[in-house]
Every structure is written in C-alpha cells, then in structure tokens.
Amino acid sequence: MATTSPLTPESVAFYNALEAVNAIEPRIADAIRAELADQRESLKLIASENYASPATLLAMGNWLSDKYAEGTIGRRFYAGCHNVDTVESIAAEHAAALFGADHAYVQPHSGIDANLVAFWSVLAQRVELPALQQAEVRHVNDLSEEDWARLRRELGNQRMLGMSLDAGGHLTHGFRPNISGKMFEQASYGTDPETGLLDYDAVRETAREFRPLILVAGYSAYPRKLNFRIMREIADEVGATLMVDMAHFAGLVAGKVFTGDFDPVPHAQIVTTTTHKSLRGPRGGMVLCQQELAEHVDRGCPMVLGGPLSHAMAAKAVALAEARQPDFQTYAQRIVENAESLAEELMRRGAKLVTDGTDNHLVLIDVTNYGVTGRQAENALLDAGIVTNRNSVPRDPNGAWFTSGIRVGTPALTTRGLGPAEMGEIARLIDVVLTETQRAPARDGGLSRGKHLLDEKIAGDVARQAGDVLAGYPLYPTVNLG
C-alpha cells in the first residue's frame, strides 16, 4: 500500500508544523522526522505503547498550551479559562460515558499522577468527617500537622496492599522507590508458584492479616484478566477501599472485551488509568470514581498536580471520542486475538510463557530457556529491529535490572492492522533471535548478564524480514512529509 499524496490535511498540517520548527531549531525538526521514520520501520512490541491518531496528535499542538488553569471546571484560580472549561468538560463527558463511571477527572499528566490523586482522595475521604468534627475545621485541607499525625496513627499508618513487582505489579502501588512507598506501609500479594496465576484465597488471607486502608488491583506485566468482583468482596471484608489501576488494559475495558466481573469500573470505588497504551490516546492520566469521591478527586490540582495541561486534555477528548466509536470495540478484540496468536506460536516453538499464555494484550516470555537474561534478549531483539522491553518474572533470580523475562504486547501492531498470520511470523522471528543470541564473556572469566553476542548477518536478515512483515501495513498512511 503506497502512502498518499502530501496534499492530505494531515500531510499539510504536519509538514507545515515541522517547517515552522525547522526555522527555529532544525535539530528538533530532524529528531521528530527521525522518530516517525523509526516507528514506521520497527516492529513495536512495547506493551505500554501505541500510535495515537493524527487528529489526537494535532490536538496537542495549539494555543491551549498557553493557558494557566489551576483548579477545575468553573472553579479556576486564573481568569479567562472558559475555553479550557469547555475542553475539560468534553473530555470528562466522553470518559464517563465510555466507561460508565459516575465521575471522570481528566487532568492528571501521567499514570503516576493519577495514582497520587487517587491515594490522596481516598485518604481525604476516609479522614474528613471524624477529622473535621474533632478539629472543628471546614475542609480536610485545613487540618493541622498534629491532626494529620493523629489520623495516620488511627488509620494504621496508611496501609496499602498491592500486587508484587515480580508478579506484575507496578512501582506506584506502594513500593519504596516511588512516593507511594513513603506515604503508605505496604504489603504485597503474589501469584501461585506453579501456575503463575493470582490466588484470590491467598489475597484474602493477606488482606485479613494486614488490614490495608487501600487494596490495589491492576498490573503492568500480568498476562491474565482479574476478577474485580472478588477483589471488591475482599476489600469490603477488611474495610478497605478498592482502587484499580487499569492503565494497561483500559482499552480492553473501553472496547468491551473486559466486561462483568472483569470490568473494574462497576466494582472499584476509584479507578486510575493512563490515556495512551491500549486506549490509544495522548500520553496522560485519568481518574474515574464513584460519586462520593468526586469532590476529593476534583481537588487533584493543586493538591498534588501542577496546572492542567489544557492541550493534553484536548487530545484526550479527541481520543476518548474515537474510543466511543463502534470500530474501537473491533480493535480491542483484535488486540487480544493477536496476543493469543503470538503466545500460541511462541509456545509451539518451545518458548516458556508466564501463565502459559494470555487473555489480555501482553505476553511475558521467560527467556531462561534460551540461556540469556532479559536485558540481553531485549538488546538482541533491538539489534534485529524488534522493540520490546525486559521485565521481571515471578521470583526472578536476575532481579529487576537484568531480569529473566521479555514483555511483548500487541496494541501498537494491531493499530497498524497486523493480524494473527503476522503474529505467527513475528513469533518465529523472536524465536530465531533468542535462539541465536549468546551471553558475552565477562571480565571475571564468567558470562555477562548484560552484554550479548548475536551474528550481525542474522540480525540483519531478521530486520529485513521484519520490514517485509510491516510493508503491507504502513504507519500513518495519510501523512507524507515529502
């Protein structure tokens, strides 16, 4: 399929924008053009990445970027924000309708910011009534340091229970490198050592022992669905708030692939997400919540957020409008079908997969069978034009830096139109690279955990074959920069 004429609206818009940038700083214009070329030529299998539409991308580059708009709709700390109010209202309207949520807050700049808003909102809701009664103040933001210290003691030191990192959890779920690990006393639940699947009875037992204030469900590298009805039952039993981080699988919820017990929105009091990944929007975050938390969530700025990025909210509105179209449901279903096909072909070739497959958008390969670490596998695949990322596997002997796994995902390639047949060929190429990769010698006479050896001819052959797979599925076919 050939690219279209440069006279399409998208071509004209991007060409002229880059010409304007080039006139000021040509190195930036060159880097932007190079990024488009790189994305067009590589097999993007990063599970957390996608391709936003031209309309979404164009919505970010405009005069909305110039506005300060701290506060929220109708309650700004700056004048002249009526257009920002319109943009934020439209984005929130689409988000609430798309996910069936009571309330949507579209200001967070990232998934981490969305989680911080959620954490502080839950804390504010939990402490507000007794705290206000005892301290005789009008709002939780007016509490003194002494009030907060007392409340932390009463709440059991703000405990959080979430999925462990090696089982597929995320740093923002209470781990020490992230601020959440300093805000909360944290405990983790893992997966079954034999199956790699989440053991809900074990989660319940841990929750009963730990008594968390917040039970976090969600993942960044768990290749299965979660039952949110059961997670809510566990949370209710111990008096916890159920928070779901659906950043990775939001597109599968929006696309009605995850429904019933597997849709977090009807079950969790508060849900966070990014707006890129499987949702295919701009980089950013979002919070959905039940009505009783809405007032607290809307105080995200200035509570923990800086000024809203109005141009990003405009792009979110466009992407959310796209996700409400019927063809998005077809897209979401194809994401899962492609992941299942990729997993099946990898296993047929002897690859070891965590949980022996997938029923979402990602596949986690344990590369131990290939005799390499995750870092070596990641770099070898990159040499061959296949972009993945290393990832820990449960009870990983190589730790979080070198790892023993590779995480691959299908949202981006599904956006380009690739299907199960192409997934089979991609699985073959992955297997070829990993089979031919070796650990490089280390200085101490052993084998390196970071450096790898891969014949340049093999890497080049695979890269050409990967290019052949992509040839029939051009990226941004309506964009021709000349």
Residue of 8, 33, 40, 70 marked active site? 70
Compute the distance between CA of residue 413 and CA of residue 402 in angstroms, rounded to an integer: 26
Residue of 44, 126, 277, 316 marked active site? 277
Instruction: Report pLDDT digits (tens) over 378-391.
Output: 999 999 999 999 99
Claim to verify: residue 270 and residue 338 sit in the same structural domain: no
**Model pLDDT, residue 1:** 35
Is residue 277 annotated as part of the catalytic site, yes or no?
yes
Over residues 184-210, the mean pLDDT reads 92
How many CB atoms sit inside 10 A of residue 79's CB? 7
Compute the distance between CA of residue 437 and CA of residue 462 in angstroms, rounded to an integer: 13
Claim to verify: residue 376 and residue 282 sit in the same structural domain: no
Is residue 245 annotated as part of the catalytic site, yes or no?
yes
Claim to verify: residue 335 and residue 431 sit in the same structural domain: yes
Claim to verify: residue 393 and residue 267 sit in the same structural domain: no
Which residue shows structure tokens 């998005």?
328
**Among 268, 292, 323, residue at a domain's last position:** 323
Q: 257 is in which domain, residue-wise?
A: 64-323
- Cis peptide preceding 177, ω within 30 of 0: no
Residue of 245, 298, 396, 431 marked active site? 245
- Per cent of the chain over pLDDT 70 is 91
73, part of any domain: yes
Is residue 476 annotated as part of the catalytic site, yes or no?
no
Residue of 3, 49, 68, 425 marked active site? 68
Q: Supply φ then ψ for residue 352, to 5 degrees.
A: -100, 120
Residue of 191, 273, 274, 388 marked active site? 274
Task: Name which of 102, 71, 112, 72 is nearest 284 in CA terms.
Answer: 112
CATH number for the domain spanning 384: value is 3.90.1150.10
**Among 307, 323, 339, residue at a domain's last position:** 323
**Model pLDDT, residue 2:** 43
The token duo for 184 is 């909360």
Claim to verify: residue 336 and residue 209 sit in the same structural domain: no
**Model pLDDT, residue 155:** 56
**Model pLDDT, residue 103:** 97
Instruction: Report pLDDT digits (tens) over 24-55.
Output: 999 999 999 999 999 999 999 999 999 999 99
Is residue 10 annotated as part of the catalytic site, yes or no?
no
Is residue 283 annotated as part of the catalytic site, yes or no?
yes
Compute the distance between CA of residue 161 and CA of residue 179 in angstroms, rounded to an integer: 15
How far is the CA of 271 from the CAs of 263, 281, 312, 408, 413, in angstroms? 11, 17, 20, 24, 27
**Among 323, 340, 366, residue at a domain's last position:** 323
Helix axes 456-471, 374-383, angle to 10 degrees: 70
Q: Is the dihedral of CA 291, 296, 300, 301 positive or negative?
A: positive
CATH number for the domain spanning 129: value is 3.40.640.10
Residue of 44, 280, 283, 334 marked active site? 283
Is residue 70 annotated as part of the catalytic site, yes or no?
yes
Structurally, how many domains does the chain consist of? 2
**Model pLDDT, residue 152:** 60
Q: Is the pLDDT of residue 128 over 70?
A: no
Claim to verify: residue 304 and residue 397 sit in the same structural domain: no
Over residues 434-461, the mean pLDDT reads 93
